[in-house]
Structure 1
């Protein structure tokens, strides 16, 4: 199983998650930063976002070539990406991906000769797909908006939507993404040393603190995980 599919699938998922957080067109850099933060937190191995982008770019070039692959050398990076995609191990991802690919119907219209007539199965599949898509969107989506220090469910508002302040409802963000005040008694890391606080540095140098990684709810910039340096510099000088 090729590493190229692992990194491509991870970037695809990162893009979808960033869209749910309100970023309309997540860049490769934003997706790479999200993956870098996740793997660093889960596997305690930092790889800069540029390296993830390089892997991804190389993987896209080789995606259609069966004999070509990329090589991700760090085992923890491979395991972390598999974890991000919801698998315990890379082998589990590989088996699931292979099964999924084998189960796909070819994306083309083909002919089936039956009782002297040609049946265009591709057209039938297309029509069924359109019907299912239409059914999926019969129910209006739920929305949420940022309210000072947390997200709340909100009714659709065209003005807020156009300003990028209205986002698709995400229960995890509703429950766990908060803006908080910190001090020297705040628990910044868990028992394994992983960050529990992320921050955004404003133009005036002031820091804003949040309880989950992701994008700043107002300006849309990627939050950074707290470090001992930032704590000593800004919280407990």
Structure 2
């Protein structure tokens, strides 16, 4: 994620909050924003300090936090924000440059378009890929796979980073620098499942929750009361 884009997102988030909040203090605005998205007011205040007050020494925010800020601005995700805002800007820049440059630049642009069309036609003959959930990870499959398997559009980032994992005392539940969660969970009855990224449960589609200190301690207690845990 580019820092310049994240800064723009943070500025727009607080501009929107100022229109909705009766107070304009950092604390009041952060609390208002936190009521609509999952990151805490403290996390949002750190974003204010870093990008609006330009304080140094504040670590980077994780992908989940930035995605939540984009949702506050009515975008599905950071990727959707970039696609909608910067693809349009890029197109406008290309048009402006085309007006300023001579016919040679126009010829180069035309050549690129022709090559793109040729490559696009060749890709039509290739089978479109999707992905499906296999026990604890996603795997690439053909989109035409049997209806018995649930397939979703291929997402290379999710394919590489979204895994179901077991946790123990060696598990890093939180980022040492930012304190942000590194594990997300789904609880059903007495059963708890753990995942390495936020999003929806790969089977039932329910939203995963970020791990908390309470859940981490409850899941992996430092001490147990089993007889085998005491020194003989």
Report the TM-score range of the alignment, normalised by the length of the smaller protein: 0.3 to 0.5
TM-score (norm 2): 0.47
Greater relative CO (CA pairs within 8 A, separation 6+): 1
TM-score (norm 1): 0.46
